[in-house]
Amino acid sequence: MLKRLLVALSPFGVAMAVASVPAHAQADPLASWIDGAAKARIVAFVKAATEPGGKDFVPAADRIAVFDNDGTLWSEQPMYFQLAFAIDRVKALAPQHPEWNAKQPFKAALEGDMKVLAASGEHGLVELVMASHAGNTTDEFAQVVRDWMKNARHPRSNRLYTELTYRPMRELLDYLRANGFATYIVSGGGVEFLRVVSEELYGVPPQQVIGSSVQTKYELRDSKPVIVRLPELDFIDDKAGKPVGIHKFIGKRPVAAFGNSDGDFEMLEWTTSAPGARLGLIVHHDDDVREYAYDRNSTIGKLDRGLDEAGKRGWLVVSMKNDWRRVYTPAR
Amino acid sequence: MLKRLLVALSPFGVAMAVASVPAHAQADPLASWIDGAAKARIVAFVKAATEPGGKDFVPAADRIAVFDNDGTLWSEQPMYFQLAFAIDRVKALAPQHPEWNAKQPFKAALEGDMKVLAASGEHGLVELVMASHAGNTTDEFAQVVRDWMKNARHPRSNRLYTELTYRPMRELLDYLRANGFATYIVSGGGVEFLRVVSEELYGVPPQQVIGSSVQTKYELRDSKPVIVRLPELDFIDDKAGKPVGIHKFIGKRPVAAFGNSDGDFEMLEWTTSAPGARLGLIVHHDDDVREYAYDRNSTIGKLDRGLDEAGKRGWLVVSMKNDWRRVYTPAR
């Protein structure tokens, strides 16, 4: 009703109407979430975890929340954004690497053969980035990523990739932090790629980003110390690797986990199978108007077992279509 | 003069004298540091890094300080405390492992052959702990460490190992945190060993402890998820591994580094070879009365190149004997 009222008012009237909205509604930290069961469940969890003396109270030091990135905090269709980055990099570096014309996955990247590339999954793209940037220092690599983020655009929306984060999820990050949670990103993607923008996009500093990585080496170049990227995988932070990564980097079991695909299954399982207040949440991509609709049959972000088992495991499945008032910022 | 005054006073007089000490002296956050050049240098660094508008101002997000543990935050003689733990564990588990009687380094551990063990260094002890605890879950291992910490005693002082942290360094940790620094431990020892006590001993939560590690695996046991320790090294966080570990876990270059041996050389080098306010500090063990005296010729905590180059690199060498008012708590 309030909405209809606002629509009917003149510009001057709107200002007055806004002023008369109750304070709690204006200050709603989850304003992009439609008032419904999903939002209520999130709020109830946070209330239970933070209520002193409550039976599910979680001390501040243990309030650890972990978020997948691709498909959970920003879009991942029609391809992982880091794959778009890798393709652009392979193209840029190709003149110095004639051998790539005959070698996969470089050949597929140069020819734009998305099927071959998509099938290689997050592992494949880490390898692509790995090989094309071996020998770079970590500082050089970060600069390349920074430059790309400033210019590269999403093929369908033509927006900067950095504009394609989910507003409701950013609100959720802020809301959890305001309630004393430490928020971590636990991504299958490359950690050095994501750390460049994690603070700016999500308010998550580099040391709270866990991801896949290549091995690195400390050395002196022109008598200045640098850290150099090597062409060898160090760690794949996906599937059962996610709880392993969480243990390795945080050393504590989280109390809340947020994902969108079966790559997050074990992270959700690890987080929610201990006593006390726990929240496991899956973002379901069912909005082909404002974003994309995909789940069981998608190569990217496949969600199958998670959908089957969410009910019996008590995980909250969030409908992008029905639970989110808006997807991106500004609203599309 | 104040000291002489206090000594001359009766017990009642002492209370009065304390009450008349100026407020800033009473509240000295580095009370266990003797007022001198070393303390002044630390205070000057923190002041420069935190003074808004100053030319060496460091934004809060970049105030990252890294501390070695063995020999920097607690004692490491006559052997790394984790080596004492490993020996105790090998002895406790020996009945189930008759093969250890003929196999190094287990044989040396069972026979108390410290020379062989010491020569194996931090790598060797990680391997010892690794092999003796392969197959344990991370929770089981943490409990074993917790129990040991409650009971095991240092051979010379007969105090609990947990009582052998350096009071001046704990004050320094608190002082840095009070000034907006994030404090990390970057240890050559095993990360899962140290994380059990890091919060209690140093106020450093598990996620801010970086160390050597074994590989782990996520699996279900009796349909409950666990993380299991495998008998394979994952990462050695020593020497050039320290800056690599810092980059891997923090993703930023620290502005202050604290160590005591050549195992910390690269960490100090990495931290201090960038512009702006930087502090590199080496604790020199030159106090054979209150602690131990060792440097260039020690198997444990060897400090040779660090002593040679500290001057030209601008690193502060702290004399345990002359710069510290007390070593442990309570004072010995």
State ipTM.
Answer: 0.90
Say if the Cβ atoms of A182 and B207 lie within 8 Å: yes
Nearest CA to A128 among A86, A91, A80?
A: A86
Tokens encoding B206: 């598990």
Cα separation, B218 vs B73, in Å, equals 32
A191, A234, A250: residue with CB nearest B206:
A250
Tokens encoding B201: 């001993």
Which of chain A's residues have a Cβ under 8 Å away from the Cβ of B191?
251
CA dihedral (A10, A15, A20, A25) positive or negative = positive
- Residue pair B112/B121 in contact (Cβ under 8 Å)? The answer is no
The pLDDT confidence band at residue A261, using thresholds 50, 70 and 90, is: very high
Say if the Cβ atoms of B224 and A266 lie within 8 Å: no
Cα separation, B267 vs B253, in Å, equals 10
In A188-208, which positions are buried (b, 16+ CB within 10 angstroms) versus exposed (e)? bbbbbbbbbbbeebbebbbbb
Percentage of chain B lying above the pLDDT 70 cut: 91
Cα separation, A145 vs A193, in Å, equals 6
Q: Residue A324, SS3?
A: strand
Q: Over the stretch B18-58, which tens digit does the pLDDT of each residue have?
A: 444 454 556 899 999 999 999 999 999 999 999 999 999 99
Nearest CA to B174 among B278, B33, B321?
A: B33
A270 touches chain B (CB under 8 A): yes
- Residue pair B137/B226 in contact (Cβ under 8 Å)? The answer is yes
Alpha helices, H only, B182-264: 191-202, 241-249
B 159-218 near A (Cβ less than 8 A):
182, 191-192, 195, 199, 205-207, 209, 213, 216-218
Which of chain A's residues have a Cβ under 8 Å away from the Cβ of B237?
none
What confidence score (pLDDT) does residue B16 get?
38
Q: Where are the beta strands (DSSP E) in chain A?
A: 64-67, 182-190, 209-221, 224-235, 256-259, 279-284, 316-319
Say if the Cβ atoms of B251 and A207 lie within 8 Å: yes
Look up tokens 């996969």; give the residue. A104
Q: Over the stretch A6-46, which tens digit does the pLDDT of each residue have?
A: 333 333 333 334 444 454 556 899 999 999 999 999 999 99
Nearest CA in chain A to B218: A240
Q: Over the stretch B66-101, which tens digit does the pLDDT of each residue have?
A: 999 999 999 999 989 998 999 999 999 999 999 999
Neighbours of A4 (CB within 10 A): 7
Which of chain B's residues have a Cβ under 8 Å away from the Cβ of A210?
none
B139 touches chain A (CB under 8 A): no
pLDDT, mean of residues A293-308: 96
- Residue pair A189/B224 in contact (Cβ under 8 Å)? The answer is no
Nearest CA in chain B to A269: B225
Q: Over the stretch B203-217, which tens digit does the pLDDT of each residue have?
A: 999 999 999 999 999
DSSP assignment letter at B324: B
A192, A227, A251: residue with CB nearest B207:
A251
Cβ-Cβ pairs closer than 8 A, A with B, add up to 78
Say if the Cβ atoms of A247 and B216 lie within 8 Å: yes
A244 touches chain B (CB under 8 A): yes
Helix or strand run (H / E) with residue A24: helix A23-26
Torsion of CA A198, A203, A207, A213, to 10 degrees: -20
How big is the CA angle at A48 (ends A45 and A50), to the nearest 5 degrees? 105
